[in-house]
Copies of this chain bind each other. A is one copy, B any other.
Amino acid sequence: MPERPQTIELVRRTAFFATAGEAAMARLLRPSFTQVLPRGAVMFEQHQQADFLHLLLEGSVGLMARDETGAETVVEIFGPGELFLAPAAILQLPYLASATALTEVRVLMLPSEVFRDGIAQDPALARAAVELLARHWRLMVDQVVDLKLRSAERRVARFLARRVAEDHGTGSVALPEPRGTIAARLGMTPETLSRTLAGLEAAGLIRVFPRRIDVPDREKLLRVAPKK
């Protein structure tokens, strides 16, 4: 590539490359390239061989998985700075999920083979991969706990709170993704999501707009009690 300076700076600031370091970054960026894809584009299919890791530079991506009957759900939604799906690239296994652009996206494509070779030779890169996987494992455990224990109110409140910068405690949360995708991520129907958002708004905890939600007080939102 020759990459735009802003891209380089964005890549450098990701948690992954902050750990992996400049040498690993140079090594991985050399054979990589960026793609700009419209909302709705399928970046890769479930069961396809994992030839690339994807580093999201701009936009929002949904990981979708199908079960054996063909039913589909949203496993996770990733935003800028996230690297996925490393497990498939590392294990040389097919992707466990497909990835769909939920907005227009700009994504950096890193060849899996270069990534695997890098891990084998560069301890800093291996450490970054280990930290990335450990963090993603924790995301999934958190979601399992969400699905098993938490009410719709709490799930929605936590999802919104995560999008409010912690140091602010208040803010406007952009929701550029289709509402149906957010509902599937949260393990509820779109109707339940709408009802829950309306309930949180009636309680004065959020204000709902078409493509954003205002959170006046993050801590108060997180203390929402489930409806009886």
Contacts and interface: CB of A to CB of B under 8 A. Distances in A.
A149 B119 contact: no
Interface stretch (A5-13, A128-136, A190-198, A205-213): A128-136
Contact of A148 (B129, B140, B187): B187
A147 B144 contact: yes
Copies per assembly: 2
A30 interface: no
Interface residues of A, number: 40
B65 A134 contact: no
Interface stretch (A33-41, A86-94, A104-112): A86-94
Secondary structure call for the A interface? helix
Nearest to A73: B148
Contact of A127 (B67, B72, B119): B119
A96 B96 CA distance: 24
A147 B147 contact: yes
A144 B134 contact: no
